[in-house]
């Protein structure tokens, strides 16, 4: 890791001032993507601005009649073990409990994962499927507009993700096929039936533009929320990532299988 200067602002305004006053700064949350990236010298910001002590981002979970609201510095293990979330969206707490391993879940945060938008990250699929709203220091961004490609989001330079508001669905399910070595998703599907009846299918780990909605699957599942309704439906391999772990046609196959599995496991998760 190249030399860097660490800052620990205690307010949003202090953090933004630090960011804007630096030529080359990066926000730091749980650090479980950023620190490995720094160690491999793929990034070398001169300033690291640790956002975990800012009160607005503080670890917090609030469940209202229609929403689950999570502060962005909330660590995965807190979401995974939240009885309140387990009661209303078990697929969301189950997703959090399937990220990385125990030690990683003790440090990684929902805000960090969502701001980074790794194409194999878990949370982006829940944000997109549950029609979440991303709240920042300056505005609200609907999930539909938030994700803009690999590691790319609507966040402007210096903008801080403060909290995420998920809609509580009628029911949701999450199914994931992991790379057996890295444990990152090779294909995962988050399927939600919202209270007004609309269906959202979000796919992560597979798309060559990061997380995306599989609208053809949504149309089928609107007719009938069953795995049978997806019979014969395939996705174009040219939309998939291909690498040494899984070529595009295999990932396309996995997307269809994981979507069916998510439907078969509504109200929970199915992690392979």
Partner 1 sequence: MSRVTITINGKAETRDVEDRTLLVQFIREHVGLTGTHVGCDTTQCGACTVHLDGRAVKSCTVLAVAADGSQVMTIEGLADGATLHPMQQAFHEHHGLQCGYCTPGMIMASVDMVRRHDGELDEHTVRHELEGNICRCTGYHNIVKAVLDAAGKHRAAKTAAPVEAAE
Q: CA 117 to CA 127: how far, in whole Å?
A: 11
Using CB under 8 A, which of the segments 27-35, 136-144, 156-164, 186-194 binds partner 1?
27-35
Q: Is 77 an interacting residue with respect to partner 1 (CB under 8 A)? A: yes
Q: Give yes or no for residue 39 binding partner 1 (CB under 8 A).
A: yes
The reply on whether position 24 binds partner 1 by CB under 8 A is no
Residue 227: partners with Cβ closer than 8 Å, 6 or more residues away: 260, 261, 263, 264
10 near partner 1 (CB under 8 A): no
SS3 (DSSP) at 115:
helix
**What is the enclosing helix (H) or strand (E) of 17?**
helix 12-20
Binding partner 1 by CB under 8 A: which of 32, 163, 261, 270? 32
Near partner 1 in 189-218, by CB under 8 A? none
Residues with Cβ within 8 Å of residue 42, at least 6 apart in sequence: none
**Beta carbons of 136 and 111 less than 8 angstroms apart:** no
Distance CA 18, CA 46 (A): 12
In 3D space, the residue among 206, 214, 212 whose CA is nearest the CA of residue 233 turns out to be: 214
User: Which range in 100-108, 132-140, 202-210, 228-236 contacts partner 1 by CB under 8 A?
Assistant: 100-108
- Would you count residue 48 as binding partner 1 (CB under 8 A)? yes
Q: Contact between 58 and partner 1 (CB under 8 A)?
A: no
Smallest gap from Cβ 102 to partner 1, in A, equals 5
Binding of residue 50 to partner 1 (CB under 8 A): yes
Q: In the β-sheet with 61-63, what is the strand arrangement from edge to edge? A: 61-63, 67-71, 161-167, 133-136, 140-142
Least Cβ distance, residue 244 to partner 1 (angstroms):
17
Residue 101 touching partner 1 (CB under 8 A): yes
Residues in touch with partner 1 (CB under 8 A): 1-6, 8, 28, 31-32, 35-36, 38-40, 48, 50, 77, 100-104, 106-107, 182-183
């Amino acid at each position: 890791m190249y030399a860097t200067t660490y800052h620990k602002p205690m307010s949003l305004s202090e953090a933004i001032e630090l960011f804007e006053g630096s030529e080359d700064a990066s926000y730091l949350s749980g650090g479980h993507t950023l620190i490995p990236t720094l160690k491999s010298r793929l990034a070398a910001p001169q300033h690291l601005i640790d956002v975990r002590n800012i009160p607005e981002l503080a670890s917090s979970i609030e469940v209202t009649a229609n929403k689950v609201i999570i502060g962005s510095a909330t660590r995965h293990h807190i979401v995974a073990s939240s009885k309140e979330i387990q009661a209303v969206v078990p697929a969301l707490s189950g997703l959090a409990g399937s990220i990385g391993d125990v030690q990683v879940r003790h440090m990684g945060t929902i805000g960090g994962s969502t701001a980074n938008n790794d194409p194999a990250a878990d949370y982006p699929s829940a944000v997109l499927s549950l029609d979440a709203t991303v709240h920042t220091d300056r505005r609200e961004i609907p999930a539909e507009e938030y994700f803009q490609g690999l590691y790319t989001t609507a966040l402007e330079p210096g903008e801080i993700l403060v909290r995420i508001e998920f809609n509580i669905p009628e029911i949701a399910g999450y199914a994931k096929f992991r790379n057996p070595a890295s444990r990152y998703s090779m294909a995962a599907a988050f399927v939600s039936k919202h209270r007004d009846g609309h269906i959202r299918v979000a796919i992560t780990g597979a798309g060559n533009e990061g997380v995306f909605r599989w609208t053809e699957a949504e149309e089928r599942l609107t007719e009938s929320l069953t795995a049978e309704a997806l019979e014969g439906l395939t996705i174009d391999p040219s939309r998939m990532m291909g690498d040494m772990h899984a070529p595009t046609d295999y990932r396309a196959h996995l997307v269809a299988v994981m979507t069916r599995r998510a439907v078969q496991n509504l109200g929970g998760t199915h992690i392979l």
